Structure 1
Amino acid sequence: MKTSLCAGLLLLAALCNAQAATPPQVETCTACHGAQGEGNALVGAPRLAGQQAEYLLVQLRDFKAGRRGYDANDRHGAQMRAVVASLDDSAFASLATYYSGLAFTSPGASSAADVTQGRELYQGTCASCHGPQAQGFAHLKTPRLNILDGAYLHRQLEHYAQGTRGSEEHAGTLGIWMRGISLQVRQDSERQALVDYITRLGASPASAIGH
């Protein structure tokens, strides 16, 4: 009896700790990003589960400060900026840590038409900041690209190139830097080859990340 009681108390304590570790503000995020942070390509919401916490924290702060989502042509970004405006800054760190700690399933590979071109573009423009497997680096505050869907990646490259994200008038240092990088990939066919390569990295065993 005592053993069962102790086991029950331990289980209850574990459940309470798990619930305490989930920030209450998560409810604001689940409508678009999913209950497990899996994202929803249909509404343009990227996967948050497993993303670099440092990167997520920077993005939350940038949305709140208007350094991202500042252009009406960035419809998804503007929506996200409005949502973040309702959150208190003190919640950002716990949200970033929470989503970074969630497990995720690697996205399926796209049917890349030219893997060689995509690989060359990635190695020449992205690998130094995002890593050889597109895993991102915490110390550089660069995101994991290998967990994001192709449509989101393509849209962000276009937004950077157009200045709807990363403009010198609004963005922070990292956004401005990324805009300069994106301008090196000018053709839509190049962007697609790059995106196809990154999504294939996400589907490869070498880039799978668990928690």
Structure 2
Amino acid sequence: MMGKRALWVCFVLLSGYSLAHAEGNAAAGKEKSEACASCHGDDGNSNAPIFPKLASQHASYTAKQLREFKSEKRANPTMTAMAEPLSDADIDDLSAYFAQQKIKLEKAGAANPLGETIYRTGNASSGVPACTGCHGPDGAGNPSAMFPALRGQYAAYLEKTLSDFKAGARANDANSIMRSIAAKLSNEEITAVSGYASGLQ
């Protein structure tokens, strides 16, 4: 039941998206990525878990985030300053470049029953849908719907992201879907599911 509900939610969100921007030029994006390297690494694999890995992330998702940093729909003064001078072509080129890079996967941790349960079946008692409905059974995400890939991402970054959605500090999710889900997660569940999603292969 929870799986069907999650799929329905994803379908509704997908219907509101439009992939209006052209595909970028990855070669041009590589040249433009030098300013990103200090935080996100030369190939999009950041060295610090507070900065997200951009390697292998769907170009549609990365482009959406950059545009929303630029417009301040997603609040982050540092990233707004970085994104503000970017043209649409710059954003598409950067997104295409990072999408072509190979993410350095995290090692799967110890058995994580709580994280696996939340990710694969959700929590019926609190109304949390399974993460698989939007992010896929292997954490690959959904580029058409701009749902990000989660596998290989730093657990610490995923945990911060869910905590920010829960607190309302991040509010650029379509139809408040991630804020409504995160609000129903306990801190223990957030930590567990972040660790589990990070280790997906």
With the shorter chain as reference, the TM-score category is 0.7 to 0.9
Name the aligned partner's letter for residue 55 of structure 1: Y
Structure 1's 61 and 117: CA in aligned 2 closer, same or farther, altered over 3 A? same
Q: CA deviation at 1:20?
A: 4.3
Write the distance in 1 (CA, Å) between the matches of 2:82 and 2:44: 16
Question: How far is 1:111 from its partner?
Answer: 3.9
Provide the TM-score with structure 1 as the length reference.
0.74
Identity across the alignment (%):
32
Does residue 154 (structure 1) correspond to residue 159 (structure 2)? The answer is yes
Spell out the pairing of 1:64-79 with structure 2 (5 A cutoff): 64-69=70-75, 77-79=76-78
The aligned residue for residue 94 of structure 1 is: 93
Residue 12 (structure 1) aligns with:
none
Q: Give the structure 2 partner of residue 5 of structure 1.
A: none
Give the match for residue 61 of structure 1.
Answer: 67
Give how far 1:159 is off. 0.3
1:116 aligned to 2:113?
Answer: yes
Aligned pair count reads 169
* Aligned with residue 25 of structure 1, among 8, 21, 32: 32
Q: For residues 80-109 of structure 1, what are the alpha-carbon distances to aligned partners after superposition, in whole Å with 9 as ceiling and x for unaligned?
A: 122111322321111111100011221123
CA contact (8 A) 1:38 1:104 kept: yes
Q: Distance in 2 between matches of 1:143 and 1:38?
A: 16
Structure 2 unpaired stretches of 5+: 1-24, 123-128
Contact residue 62 and residue 172 of structure 1 kept, 8 A: no
| Cα drift, residue 192 of structure 1 | 1.1
Q: Which amino acid aligns with 1:127?
A: T
> Gaps spanning 5+ residues in structure 1: where?
1-17, 70-76, 202-206
Deviations 1:131-160 (A, max 9, x none): 011110111111110121011000001100
Asked if structure 1 preserves the Cα contact closer than 8 Å seen for 2:151 and 2:198, the reply is yes
Q: Whose helix fraction is larger, Structure 1's or Structure 2's? A: 1
Write out aligned runs for 1:140-151 (5 A). 140-151=145-156
Instruction: Provide closer, same or farther for how the CA distance between residues 153 and 20 of structure 1 changes in structure 2, counting only shifts above 3 A.
Output: closer
Aligned residue type for 2:82 = V
TM superposition shift of 1:21: 4.2
Question: Normalised by the size of structure 2, how large is the TM-score?
Answer: 0.77
Given the superposition, is the C-alpha separation of residues 19 and 61 from structure 1 closer, same or farther in structure 2, using an over 3 Å criterion?
closer
Q: Distance in 2 between matches of 1:137 and 1:177?
A: 15
| Structure 1 contact 67–172 (Cα < 8 Å) conserved | no
